[in-house]
Amino acid sequence: MMEAMVDRMPPGMIPPGMPMPGGEQPTLREMLAYQPERSWTFEVGGRKELFDRRLATTFALFYSHVNNIQIIQLLDGGASGRIITNAGRSTSRGAELGLRFAPTTNFTLFSEYGFADARFSRYDSGDNDLAGNRIPFAPQHTLSVGASYVHRFAHHAFIDRLIANVSYTGVGKIYWTEENDVYQPFYGITNASIAVERGAFGLDLWARNLFSTQYNAFFVNVSDMGGNVNPIVQRGFPLRMGVTLRMML
């Protein structure tokens, strides 16, 4: 897909689509230019450790207000490319919580959860007032849980360490459009790996999306020459397995 993007609009430039003084038509650069985002962000958080540091908890609360939020807009439904444009104002508020528990020196359990309510506070698309709608591509919930085990071998062993990890990561709900008429429901994928290390070298055996969970990684509506709107969906990767050889410098 062709993509047209230009530098941000300098101060004082005529906004995109506005006629120039004297009735002159704006240049292509002026039509495609956009304003920089400006935001105020506030965050407060903390960390607490208990039981001789075997249990650790973290939390954070945040609020963000953005002026001239930048979004990707399709031209002719995507047939002519896409541009970045400004979409009024937005607010985002949410919280994050994390837990980490190590019952032994070799075994660790962890969990993290995040919630974000990101909405347009002012956005007129030209056809509809979308104030109050959720911002596209911004998941409302994120979740991860997992476990890690580390075994250290004797000093003269051929292998220094063996490391095993398994984790579940969940994402959703994600709206794909400013109108909030299409969305990706909450989904989760499971990853696992086993690694052996000796000195600066490591060998990893890994599997991603272990159960081949089906989900959409991207969605867009595209108009054809006849004016029909067709959805185009990019599916997420199914089960993938591999081997990675690494060296620490």
pLDDT in tens, 58-82: 999 999 988 877 776 655 544 455 6
The confidence score (pLDDT) of residue 49 equals 94
How long a stretch of residues is the chain?
249
Q: What is the pLDDT of residues 118-132, one digit of tens each?
A: 998 887 666 778 888
Q: What is the pLDDT of residues 24-60, one digit of tens each?
A: 676 766 666 777 878 899 999 999 999 999 999 999 9
Report helix, strand and coil shares of the chain as percent, to nearest 5: 5, 55, 40
Q: What is the pLDDT of residues 173-223, one digit of tens each?
A: 999 888 888 899 999 999 999 999 998 899 999 999 999 999 999 887 776
**All domains of the chain, ordered by start, with CATH?**
41-247 (2.40.170.20)
pTM confidence score: 0.75
Pairing of strands 216-223, 38-50: unpaired
DSSP category for residue 73: E
Judge contact between 139 and 147, C-beta under 8 A. Answer: no
The confidence score (pLDDT) of residue 224 equals 67
The confidence score (pLDDT) of residue 4 equals 35
Q: What is the pLDDT of residues 113-169, one digit of tens each?
A: 999 999 988 876 667 788 888 988 889 999 999 999 999 998 888 899 999 999 999
Q: Is 92 helix (H, G, I), strand (E, B) or coil?
A: strand
Confidence class of residue 249 from pLDDT cuts 50, 70 and 90? confident
Residues β-bridged to residue 196? 162, 203
- Rounded-to-integer distance, Cα 152 and Cα 106, Å: 8
